[in-house]
Amino acid sequence: MDMEKVNSMDFGEFVDVFGNVIERCPLIAAAVWSQRPFSDLEDLEKHFSAFIDALPQSGQEGVLRCHPDLAGRELQRGTLTAESQREQGAGLTSLGAEERLRAELNAQYRARFGFPFVLAARLSDREAVLRELARRLHRPPALELRTALGEVKKIGRLRLADLVGADP
């Protein structure tokens, strides 16, 4: 899909295609549409990121809360979005003690920060998820909010590249 096609999309088509670039936050695509035309993929990415950066803290935390746990109940139940299923399905599931430890750390993280632990799974692996969870769990909330939003942007960048880089 080239930028000419992206820039020619009406509102409905744009949100249909880009509505889940930021997990379960079609509002962001709905807002970014009005910024067209986009010069290239990087310009499109910048508009998605700028919308998130311009949100008040409550909105940024809300974006994070729209993310399913990493390898959590939704993965087990098969209720993830297609994008999340693809990202999380690749080798994050583990069994037994590691699974229980990750669930416990996820719960501690969510209790401490008020939003789920978010990590760009495609850039990580099972061991790194546990390591990052344990490391980030004890960080100051203001710093962790910025780190978590950075992961949301990485996930969004990869999803945009899949969509815009996809064949016509």
Ligand X SMILES: NC(=O)NC1=NC(=O)NC1=O
Which of the residues are catalytic?
A: 67
Q: Which of residues 104-123 bind ligand X (CB under 6 A)?
A: 116-122
Q: Are 21 and 137 in contact (CB under 8 A)?
A: no
Q: Which of residues 11-50 bind ligand X (CB under 6 A)?
A: 23
Nearest-angstrom CA–CA distance, 34 and 53: 17
Chain residue whose CB lies nearest ligand X: 84
Q: Are 44 and 51 in contact (CB under 8 A)?
A: no
Q: Is 60 in the site for ligand X (CB under 6 A)?
A: no
- Please give the C-alpha separations between residue 140 and each of 70, 135, 145, in angstroms, as whole numbers: 21, 11, 9
For residue 64, what are its two tokens? Answer: 């994070």
Q: Is 145 in the site for ligand X (CB under 6 A)?
A: no
Binding ligand X (rule: CB under 6 A), the pick from 15, 32, 155, 160 is 155
Nearer CB in complex with ligand X: 46/153: 153
Binding ligand X (rule: CB under 6 A), the pick from 33, 63, 67, 149 is 67
The phi-psi region of residue 4 (left if phi > 0; otherwise alpha if psi is between -120 and 50; otherwise beta) is alpha
- Please give the C-alpha separations between residue 13 and each of 5, 19, 39, 56, 59, in angstroms, as whole numbers: 11, 9, 19, 28, 25
Q: Is 136 in the site for ligand X (CB under 6 A)?
A: no
Looking at 13-21, 32-40, 54-62, 81-89, which segment touches ligand X (CB under 6 A)?
81-89
- State in angstroms the smallest separation of the CB of 3 from ligand X: 25
Give me the residues that bind ligand X (CB under 6 A), please. 23, 67-70, 84, 87-88, 116-122, 155
